[in-house]
Amino acid sequence: MGLAAAAAIHRLMILGKPPKFSFKNPQSLFGKPLIFYSPNSPTHFNSLVCLRVNSLHSKSPSIRTHHPIQELLLLLAFSLTLLCFRLLSNALLPDFPLHWQRLVAFSREAETRTKSYPEHLWQAIVAYEDRRFFTHFGIDPVGIGRAVLSLSARGGGSTITQQLVKNTFLKNERTFSRKILETVLALVLERTMSKQRILSSYVCKIYWGHGINGIESASKFYFGKHPSLLSLAESAMLTGLIPAPELRSPLRDHTSGKTFQARVLKRMVKVGFLDIEMALLTVRQPLFLHLSREEHADELGVGEKKKQNEEGRESTWDWERESKIREVCEEMERWAIKVGLSST
């Protein structure tokens, strides 16, 4: 009886008829009709291949074609990228990575050299150039807004960090792309260096007039001393030269030194670095410049050179100097009275 059953099953497989199962509706378990073929049947291998391909096709996601708008956006993004690279190449100085590495190394050296500088020198520079230097993140939104509202043709709103970036990495062209790049690099520089390193690098690199770069050379040229020995009056006068050192130089106008010194002292009072009494006392002090170069010795008769002048010329110069100091002091006193009245 067992042989008969085996023969019946073998005959069914050869004929290709599906065998009967003891449970109901076996197709519901697989989702497809089950068809058995004989191993020797030519359709057996083809059926397996078709089932495998159909199963892979059902699992793989359908391929979607790109929409024309997507292709247009990709093309626009690529064009903007090329435009940005072109603008960067036009605004940046050659060998930008090398300049960046040099600035980082220079900042360490500048921080070490300026540790002995007096505090009132730093306060004068910060108050006059960038009063929110220690609180902003590289750019000053308040200063930018004030510059935009005032519609100043001279610009304004640039922080000390931005000025350091402009003097180190960028070309002198005044373009909108250069301003954007200056802002971006200032943000990056603030996250690369400390505030003190940025400030030290700034005072050691900027131009002070008459072919002089750096605060140390400027201090020796104008006053014949190291910056660590500068008084409050001398620090305020040097700080007043920063925006336009050639035009504000006391070698061109011997009265300009006191004028811009008074402006710096006012800024220090407004920021809170100095009280009004100390500012008035400082502005009353005379300034004696020490000219370390012979080619400038005849332009301003002060300091040691003044002692060599004739008596009549010396008395005339003393009168002019004292008169200017008196004018600046009187203007400073009127300003102090206004500030006192407004504060009360």
Mean pLDDT of residues grouped by 10 in the chain (344 residues)? 54 51 48 48 48 47 60 72 60 79 94 96 96 92 77 66 92 80 91 95 95 94 94 95 91 82 94 92 85 51 42 47 75 83 64
What distances in angstroms separate CA 123 from CA 67, 111, 129, 133, 263, one per listed residue? 60, 16, 10, 11, 14
pTM: 0.67
pLDDT at 306: 43
pLDDT at 330: 82
CB contact burial 30-64 (16+ within 10 A = b; e otherwise): eeeeeeeeeeeeeeeeeeeeeeeeeeeeeeeeeee
pLDDT at 313: 39
* Token pair belonging to 311: 């008596």
Alpha-carbon gap, residue 148 to 321, rounded angstroms:
39
Closest CA relative to residue 269, chosen from 259, 261, 279: 279
pLDDT at 191: 93
